[in-house]
Amino acid sequence: MEAKHWDRHAKRYFEDIISPFADKKASKMIFDFVGRFSGKKKICADLGCGIGFLLPELSKRFKEVYAVDFSGKMIDFAKRKNKNLKNIVFEVGDLRKLKYKNKFDFAIAVNSILMPSANEIAIVLKNICNSLKKNGVFAAIFPSMEGILYQAMLVYERELKKNKKLAAEKTRQIIESWDYDFLLGLLTEKSGKQKLFYEFELGYLLKKSGFKNIKISKLGYSWKSLEDKDIDFPGKPGPWDWIVAAKK
């Protein structure tokens, strides 16, 4: 997905985009997570800042915040939304061409590393690593492929009780399995392809890009956040993305 795609979503971000910030529990976990690495003398980067939902928290916790997004309209919206925050530097920029070297103490990317190209993902992760100071921390949210497989398992288990012969096909329809490439970890939408990540894959890619002390855990969501009555399992753990912390 290129900048023009995200430009179209700037005004209707939460209506059009499934965001972890739309889930109160997930939002709190992200804020608490950021708090572990904050500091009034530290410089931070929000890489792929979108409409700037995270910026007020970052502004309070860091000396200076660089808000970067390759969608000019997202940046314009973020500027208006956060016009009273004086320690934020806004920039229209592509993470594939990130220019900073040894600049940031902390960088965060919330579901902004989605490009389907393995080569481009490698470039972005290397650029982010280069942008950090020694022992700087990269925190990120990555969409989870295992989360999709987990949903499929629960749907299939339910459908088996209804009709064993039709259970597999019904599960494929509900999950819309034809949109997923489970080998390459890709989701195809009308706007193009985007990447989803396996846990083992994330660890491998981050280490290959120069990161160390890599910690990967689940950022859990409520079933209601999916807004899909066919994928709703009250009482069972909800779906998740990956929340990652790694050090340069």
Map out the domains of the chain as residue ranges.
3-144+181-247
Pick from 118, 91, 84: nearest CA to 208:
118
Q: Which residues of 33-48 are buried (b: 16+ CB within 10 A; e: fewer)?
A: bbeebbeeebbbbbbb
State pTM to two decimals.
Answer: 0.89
- In this prediction, residue 104 carries a pLDDT of 97
Question: CB atoms < 10 A from the CB of 176, how many?
Answer: 11
- In this prediction, residue 19 carries a pLDDT of 67
- In this prediction, residue 212 carries a pLDDT of 97
Distances (CA, A) of 123 to 59, 115, 126, 151, 241: 28, 11, 5, 31, 22
- In this prediction, residue 27 carries a pLDDT of 83
- In this prediction, residue 5 carries a pLDDT of 45
CATH code reported for the domain at 3-144+181-247: 3.40.50.150
- In this prediction, residue 6 carries a pLDDT of 38
> Over its length of 248 residues, how does the chain's per-residue pLDDT go in tens digits?
454 443 343 343 333 345 677 777 888 888 899 999 999 999 999 999 988 889 999 999 999 999 999 888 889 989 998 989 999 999 999 999 999 999 999 999 999 999 999 999 999 999 999 999 999 999 999 999 999 999 999 999 999 999 999 999 999 999 999 999 999 999 998 878 999 999 999 999 999 999 999 999 999 988 888 888 899 999 999 999 999 999 99
